[in-house]
Amino acid sequence: MHIRFWGTRGSLPVAPHASTIAEKVSRALFAANGRSFASEAAARAFVEGELEFAVGKTYGGATSCVEIDLGAGPFVICDMGSGLREFGLDSLRRCNAEGRPQEYHFFLSHLHWDHIMGFPFFVPAFLAGAKIVIHAGHADAEEALRRQQEEISFPVPFDWLKADIAFRTLETGREYRIGRLDVSLIEQHHSHSSYGYRFRDDRGKVAVYSTDSEHKIDLMHGEADVVGFFEAADLVVCDTMYSLADTVSMKEDWGHSSNIVAVDLCHAARAQRLALFHHEPTYSDADIQRMYRETIRYEELTRDDAPLEVICAHDGLCIEV
């Protein structure tokens, strides 16, 4: 399966100012140091091969939306952040090009604004013939989605959507067969609760989506459950919004985790890869890149045996599991 990141930012969408782009271009030109390029492709190769990520690219600013792509059949999507708008359009392109059905299975971590705000802009929801199943650990998922399309918040009411939309509440402690995936979930510490999802495909490959999950300092004994949920996963997408110091001081009880707790949990679970996710909206690309490098270093310092590969998720990233 492939994991496509359509939105990786936490809490609030962000977009670069004109000055941010000007700064990147300036740094790129300075790094090129007068070099000339015979073609745009050659210039692109320079960007890909020689510029650091934060100069040549951006981690992006859309909020949480991650696709579990099995290459055929229904689409599987975790969360409906602002990245969902772009996914919706791309899915229709794939339906036309590849003959895939307009069938969508969503798995919601929770119902906070940044995780559902993309749904009113999800074009397939407006299409008669499209089928949408919204899976959630929360029984009030439908209420949350309907409420954000009430007149006070949005011009198009939920009932005007033409797709066949169904809601399904899932329970922890069970494994569900949904499409071609085995799916289980775990309750996490977050305001109004959140849920992490574990997906296993028919080849036995496992991807875990665990965002908006605070690992409470006075409940460390309970982390064995999280380690069990991450056990031997091929990929864990993990909330790494804050530094550890922030999670135990000013931002305690804000419902998020840190990069180094994520590494420790993945080490304990013998996971193969960790994707840093739900980036702090106040972070610049340079800040995220610094956090990424520090996380890689922490993993090296604390590694027991097999290395854990650390990836920094960004909007547009697609990785094979």
Partner 1 sequence: MGSGEIAWAFEERGNASLVAPAGRVDEATAAEFAERLSKFAETCRDTMILDLEGIAYMSSRGLRALTLAQRRASECGTTIVLARPNPTMREILAISRYDRIFTVTETIEAAQDD
Please report, as ranges, the residues that interact with partner 1 according to CB under 8 A: 217-218, 220-221, 243-246, 248-249, 258-261, 263-264, 268, 294-295, 297-298, 301-304
> Least separation, in Å, of the C-beta of 284 and partner 1?
17
CA dist., res. 222 & res. 265, Å (int): 12
Do residues 49 and 319 touch, judged by C-beta distance below 8 A? no
| Cβ pair 78, 109 in contact under 8 A | yes
Q: Which is nearer to partner 1, 114 or 264 (CB)?
A: 264
Task: Yes or no: say if 284 and 248 are a contact pair by the CB < 8 Å rule.
Answer: no
- Whole-angstrom distance, CA of residue 117 vs CA of residue 93: 22
- Please state, as a whole number, how many other Cβ atoms lie within 10 Å of the Cβ of residue 28: 16
| Least distance to partner 1, CB of residue 238, Å | 13
Tokens of 99: 């003959």
Nearer to partner 1, 44 or 303 (CB): 303
Tell the smallest beta-carbon distance from residue 263 to partner 1 (Å).
Answer: 8
Specify the residue, 94 or 290, whose C-beta has the smaller distance to partner 1.
290
Radius of gyration over every alpha carbon of the chain, rounded to an integer in angstroms: 20
CB of 270 to partner 1, least distance (A): 12
If the CB atoms of residues 158 and 254 are measured against partner 1, the closer one turns out to be 254
Length of the chain: 321
**Quick one: 151 or 218, whose CB is closer to partner 1?**
218
Distance CA 261, CA 279 (A): 15
